[in-house]
Structure 1
Amino acid sequence: MRIRMVMVGRNAPGPVTDAFEEMLGRLQRSFPVEQVVVADPPGTDPERKRREGTDRLLKALEKDSLVVLLDERGEALGSTAFATRLGRWRDQGTRQVAFVIGGAYGVDDRLRARASQVIALSPMTFTHQMVRLVLAEQLYRASEILRGSGYHH
């Protein structure tokens, strides 16, 4: 099963991006991972940025992907439950899971309709750089739970 992280914005250099890259490297041992970064739409109008960001994210999704939208209002899962879900998708023969991170103003209903699942990493709001890092770490943690390693106690 392949993991795609589809996101708006860019990976700004710094310690958070370094930690993100470290987690992706670890995750690659269990699942092939691809980052797809779409440009943040220009301007300051929130509705326009949400609409155009959604357009770009939808275009970046492959038709047969199982789409998981990250949203603070999504379903809250603990690490073990998240690992169980990831393992179920893998065991069911899911070819690819695309985790989608919207822009600063979120996404519109078209992407919510396309998503098979909407999950929350936390009820709190994080910077996009932090969301990428937390997602990568949770994916790595899930892979280690599925492997039965001692990473997760």
Structure 2
Amino acid sequence: MKVSLIAIGKKMPEWIQAGINHYQKQLPREMNFSLLTPEGQKRKNTNIEQIKISEGELLLKGCTGSSVIIALDEHGKQNTTKEIANAMKKWQQNGDTVSLLIGGADGLSDEVKQKATQLWGLSNLTLPHSMARLLAVEQIYRAHSLLINHPYHRE
């Protein structure tokens, strides 16, 4: 199994990057986790729809060859950690290559949503874009912990 988080934008607050690094280090090598951060288009004097299309092309390019594409979207299905763990178990069994996509500040293009295998939501709360990255990596770690019966996950 290979899991990639592909998120528009490179610049993150240090504390967010520290959190991402912390959880990324905890993931097993065999998960082959990677974080790809293509640089989005400059926003000044540019049409929002054109920005979403341009960023969508970058996201889709980043997930070429993926058998499972999950777009994180505010209207997507909100999964429990157990549901994410069950999905990960299937990915492992199938040897899937999984891409989790996070769009830029203006959201995802229609093309990305259409090409996605699934749409997932992280929360009904309005979250900073950078926080979505951290939550996604933490939930991947938490789901993995659940699968291996690690005491990190409690109910």
Question: TM-score band, normalised by the shorter chain?
Answer: over 0.9
TM-score (norm 1): 0.92
CA distance in 2, matches of 1:10, 1:125: 21
Alignment deviations for residues 58-90 of structure 1 (CA, whole Å, 9 cap, x no partner): 122222431011011001111111111111121
- Within the candidate set 59, 62, 65, 2:61 is matched to 59
TM-score (norm 2): 0.91
Describe how 1:1-153 pairs up with structure 2 within 5 A: 1-29=1-29, 31-44=31-44, 45-94=47-96, 96-153=97-154
Contact in 2 for aligned 1:8/1:37 (Cα 8 Å): yes
Alignment deviations for residues 11-47 of structure 1 (CA, whole Å, 9 cap, x no partner): 4241121111111111245611111111111124311
**Shift >6 Å, 4+ stretches:** none
Letter of the 1:124 partner, please give it. Answer: L
Give 5+ residue unaligned stretches, structure 2: none
Letter of the 1:14 partner, please give it. Answer: E
Residue 73 of structure 1: SS of its match in structure 2?
strand
Contact in 2 for aligned 1:30/1:143 (Cα 8 Å): no
Q: Give the root-mean-square deviation of aligned CA atoms.
A: 1.4
CA distance in 2, matches of 1:139, 1:115: 18
- State the percentage of identical aligned residues: 27
CA distance in 2, matches of 1:111, 1:84: 24
CA distance in 2, matches of 1:43, 1:119: 26
Residue 72 of structure 2: SS of its match in structure 1?
strand
